[in-house]
Amino acid sequence: MGKYFHTPDGSFEALHDISFGAAAGEFVAIVGASGCGKSTLLRIIAGLESLSSGAVLVDQRAIAGPDRDRAMVFQDYSLYPWLTVLGNIRFSQRLRANGRDRRGADAGGAAERSLLLLELMGLQRVRDAYPNELSGGMRQRVAIARALLNQPELLLMDEPFGALDAQTREVMHDLILHIVAFERRTIVFVTHDVEEAVYLADRVIVLAPGPGHVDSIWATELPPAAERTQEMKRAPEFLVIERRILDRIRATSGVQKDLDALHRLTRGSTAA
């Protein structure tokens, strides 16, 4: 099972000639400077935006719009306020695509799985709470559980922890690794946080802007998900990869020009 895509996109060329693949069960992170088009790329994979040329292939079949095989987790505001936590997680069961009209054993299976996900995400205590009563971290856990209920082939995550504070983010990282070890799903994860990308992923793809294109691809070469720990974020190998990726992003983002200008400013004022 694999996924490939090639994509130029739009009359304003947002993405140019992107081509890469992900193997089954692989965790691929996409990072890059602002405006490089990583969210656009993810949305194209999800089928929420269209391609100008090329195709997204899942298992060698071209996709045609969004579907349940590519579930997506958004940064915020995606939960349904009129449903409880459990209601949100089970939402997909109301859709015909997921066998809304099915009866018997299959339907029971989904109910069981939703309770399992509730436990996996640590949401048992809030199963009957409404989203507006939850913290940002808990809401994202619900969003992830909701996306996982129907066992999608691909889990897409668009900066899911971007709105969370650093401590919550650390907890979420280990939660994701826990899920990856448990569920073995193919994941494509967009983030601007390089440390997060290296910690979670098997491979990190660096996208550069102007127009968006693949700059480099890095293998993280860390132990399997189940064995990763927060201490590894300080290991030399980890820091090396992280530093190199950050340098690539800086080189492609135009931040260097801003820094040079800033240096000239401050040097000028001390001279005066």
Partner 1 sequence: MWTIRGPLDRRLYGAIAVGSFALWLLVWWAVAALQIVDPLFLPGPGAVLRRFVTWWRDGDLLQDARISVFRVMAGFLASAALALPLGLAIGAYRPVRAFFEPLLEFSRYLPAVAFVPVVLLWAGIGEASKITVIWIGTFFQMVLMLSEDVARVPVPQVDAARTLGATGPEVVALVLLRSALPAMFDTLRITLGWAWTYLVVAEMVAADSGLGYAILKAQRFLQTDRIFVGIIVIGLIGLATDQALRWCHRRLFPWAGVRAT
Q: Does 186 bind partner 1 (CB under 8 A)?
A: no
SS3 of the chain: helix, strand, coil, percent, to 5: 45, 20, 35
Q: Does 94 bind partner 1 (CB under 8 A)?
A: yes
Give yes or no for a contact between 198 and 205, defined as CB atoms under 8 angstroms apart: no
Among the residue ranges 4-12, 72-80, 178-186, 196-204, the one whose residues contact partner 1 (CB under 8 A) = 72-80
* φ, ψ at 149 (rounded to 5°): -55, -45
- One residue of 63, 72, 179, 214 binding partner 1 per CB under 8 A: 72
Q: Does 64 bind partner 1 (CB under 8 A)?
A: no
Q: Does 132 bind partner 1 (CB under 8 A)?
A: yes
Give the shortest CB-55-to-partner 1 separation in angstroms.
18
Residue 212 DSSP symbol: B
Q: Tell me if residue 265 falls in helix, strand or coil.
A: helix
| β 27-32/203-208 pair status | parallel
Q: Does 76 bind partner 1 (CB under 8 A)?
A: yes
Residue (70 or 141) nearer to partner 1, CB: 70
- One residue of 29, 36, 71, 177 binding partner 1 per CB under 8 A: 71
Can you tell me the distance from the alpha carbon of 44 to that of 35, in angstroms, rounded to the nearest whole number?
A: 15
Angstrom CA distances, 170 to 27, 94, 123, 240, 260, stand at: 18, 33, 17, 20, 33
Give the shortest CB-84-to-partner 1 separation in angstroms.
10
- One residue of 4, 13, 17, 74 binding partner 1 per CB under 8 A: 74
Give the shortest CB-231-to-partner 1 separation in angstroms.
35
Select from 20, 57, 14 the least CA-distant residue to 214.
Answer: 20
Residues of this chain that bind partner 1 (CB under 8 A): 46-48, 65-68, 70-72, 74-82, 91-92, 94-98, 130-132, 143, 146-147, 150, 156
